[in-house]
């Protein structure tokens, strides 16, 4: 019954952002998480001379953080 | 042992190409399912969109990890 | 601009266009090379500002109930930004930001549009300084609006602390900080700048490439026509990019303001 849905009033205060906006938010959280913690890991690498291991751990951690953020911010059904 | 064939340049690029196949298919499936369900039942989009983002994030993470590891361990390890 | 035309006519334009082509010679000390105080870019920005002020003053000087043509144009631009950007993104609170968004939208649209207007043919936004400053205004605005609306502590808490258990917060807060306060102004500025820069570069490549092939040898000379046809086709593509980028910049600013005004996530 596509016809009889009530048209959503545009611009209500409880509007979720548009789909494209959410997509960019999701992608930027993932990339942002990777970059931030990857950078921290890289710094640790330079400090302890671990040859890339710490950067890898940082990237994985950051990615986990990014996923958590996406799930929390966008993935909770309203 | 004789070398029959050799690859020059970064093998990490080949690795990332292989690693991107899976997430590519996965992201395609997620959005295909979302588009189809929204086309069948438009009012369900508010309900399904959050799960789209969860699935998208988890799948896209693999592709992004692939590109990151390609840069980090380029040549060593 | 006359210098460029002369160079083209003399057939000695350096073919692969470079960043140097974006630094136009100075106007006020005419033709000076190291003086950037008043160039064609500066003139275009002032022209854009002047045109916008005069246009909106002239169209809205005597507003009538049944709008005249010019008044209709101005009102439909303002109405578009107010309804389709401000209210759509922010909600009813967005109406008070509509004047700024309209100004921003018109300014970016007009300065972008100079990229394909004959005799102007370069957009001021293809220099990073102008998009960067517009992005700084948006950045300061959404922070200021957020602080005004929530108070400093609550704004920082709202924008930095996601709803998550406390033990993963140390992992998440740097990511939030990075993506909210560092990436936003950067991506705003770079998106607009890169689009206009690349568009101008693309047109230059095909125009100058036509001249280069014309003067290369007899076999390549007919191909230069193809190159110029491509230039015309790409000009239409440029027009699309121009409108899209002006819209995207305004919409993103609106969505940042919306994020700053939003209560709880």
> Quick check: is B23 in a domain?
yes
- Sequence-distant (≥ 6) Cβ neighbours of residue A71 within 8 angstroms: B53, B54, B57
* ipTM score assigned to the predicted complex: 0.73
| Full domain range(s) for residue C38 | 2-261
Q: How confident is the model at residue C9 (pLDDT cuts 50, 70, 90)?
A: very low
Bridge partners (DSSP) of residue C26 are C39
B31 and chain A: CB distance < 8 Å anywhere?
Answer: no
Number of domains in chain A: 1
Asked if C92's CB is within 8 angstroms of A65's CB, the reply is no
Rounded to 10°, the helix C183-216/C221-261 angle is 170
What is the pLDDT at residue A3? Answer: 37
Q: What is the CATH number of the domain that holds B32?
A: 1.20.20.10
What is the pLDDT at residue A10? Answer: 41
Task: State pLDDT tens for residues C101-145.
Answer: 999 999 999 999 998 888 888 888 998 999 999 999 999 999 999
What is the distance in angstroms between the Cα of A72 and the nearest Cα belonging to chain B? Answer: 9
User: How far, in Å, CA of B73 to CA of C139, rounded?
Assistant: 36
The CA-to-CA distance between both ends of chain C, in Å, stands at 52
CB-based burial of residue C176 (10 Å sphere; 0-12 exposed, 13-18 middle, 19+ buried)? buried
B53 and chain A: CB distance < 8 Å anywhere?
Answer: yes
Touch test A–C: 3 Cβ pairs or more under 8 Å: yes
Asked if A52's CB is within 8 angstroms of B76's CB, the reply is yes
- C→A contacts (Cβ < 8 Å), by residue, are 87-94, 162-164, 168, 171-172, 174-176, 178-179, 183, 187, 255, 258, 265
Closest CA to C122 of C247, C9, C54, C20: C20
What is the distance in angstroms between the Cα of C53 and the nearest Cα belonging to chain A? Answer: 29
Q: How confident is the model at residue C222 (pLDDT cuts 50, 70, 90)?
A: confident
B-facing residues of A in 43-62 (CB < 8 A) are 51-52, 55-56, 59-60
Q: Which tokens go with C172?
A: 């998440």
Number of domains in chain B: 1
Q: What percent of chain A has pLDDT over 90?
A: 31
Q: What is the DSSP letter of A37?
A: H
> Cα–Cα–Cα angle for C155, C158, C160, nearest 5°?
100
Number of domains in chain C: 1
Q: Averaged over B41-67, what is the pLDDT?
A: 89
What is the pLDDT at residue A9? Answer: 40
**A14 neighbors A8 (Cβ within 8 angstroms):** no
What is the pLDDT at residue A13? Answer: 37
The CA-to-CA distance between both ends of chain B, in Å, stands at 23
> Quick check: is A31 in a domain?
yes
> Quick check: is B20 in a domain?
yes
Of these ranges, A48-57, B20-29, C14-23, the one predicted with the greatest mean pLDDT is: B20-29
Q: How many whole angstroms from its chain centre is CA C106? A: 10
Q: How confident is the model at residue B75 (pLDDT cuts 50, 70, 90)?
A: low
What is the pLDDT at residue C11? Answer: 46
């Amino acid at each position: 019954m596509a016809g009889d849905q009530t048209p959503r009033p545009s611009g209500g205060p409880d509007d979720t952002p548009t789909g494209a906006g959410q997509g960019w938010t999701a992608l930027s959280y993932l990339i942002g998480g990777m970059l931030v913690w990857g950078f921290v890991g890289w710094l640790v690498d330079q400090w302890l001379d671990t040859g890339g291991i710490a950067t890898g751990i940082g990237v994985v951690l950051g990615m986990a953080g990014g996923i958590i953020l996406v799930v929390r911010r966008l993935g909770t059904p309203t | 042992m004789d070398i029959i064939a050799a690859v020059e340049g970064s093998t990490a690029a080949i690795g990332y190409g292989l690693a991107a196949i899976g997430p590519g298919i996965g992201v395609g499936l997620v959005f295909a399912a979302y588009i189809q369900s929204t086309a069948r039942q438009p009012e369900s989009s508010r309900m399904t969109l959050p799960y789209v983002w969860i699935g998208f994030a988890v799948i896209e993470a693999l592709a992004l990890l692939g590109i990151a590891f390609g840069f980090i361990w380029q040549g060593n390890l | 601009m006359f210098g460029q035309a002369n160079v083209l006519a003399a057939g000695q334009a350096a073919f692969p266009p470079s960043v140097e082509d974006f630094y136009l010679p100075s106007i006020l000390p005419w033709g000076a090379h190291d003086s950037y105080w008043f160039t064609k870019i500066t003139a275009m920005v002032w022209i854009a500002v002047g045109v916008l002020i005069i246009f909106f003053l002239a169209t809205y000087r005597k507003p009538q109930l049944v709008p005249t043509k010019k008044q209709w144009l101005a009102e439909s631009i303002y109405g578009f930004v107010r309804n389709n950007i401000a209210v759509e993104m922010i909600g009813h609170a967005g109406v008070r930001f509509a004047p700024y968004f309209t100004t921003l939208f018109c300014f970016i649209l007009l300065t972008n549009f100079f990229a394909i207007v004959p005799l102007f043919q370069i957009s001021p936004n293809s220099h990073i300084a102008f998009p960067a400053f517009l992005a700084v205004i948006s950045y300061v605005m959404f922070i200021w609006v957020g602080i005004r609306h929530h108070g400093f502590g609550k704004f920082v808490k709202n924008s930095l602390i996601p709803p998550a258990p406390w033990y993963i917060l140390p992992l998440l807060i740097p990511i939030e900080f990075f993506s909210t306060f560092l990436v936003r102004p950067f991506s705003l500025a770079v998106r607009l700048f890169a689009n206009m820069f690349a568009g101008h570069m693309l047109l230059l490549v095909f125009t100058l490439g036509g001249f280069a092939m014309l003067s290369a040898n007899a076999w390549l000379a007919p191909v230069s026509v193809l190159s110029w046809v491509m230039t015309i086709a790409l000009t239409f593509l440029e027009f699309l990019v121009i409108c899209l980028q002006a819209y995207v910049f305004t919409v993103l600013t609106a969505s940042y303001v919306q994020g700053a005004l939003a209560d709880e996530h």
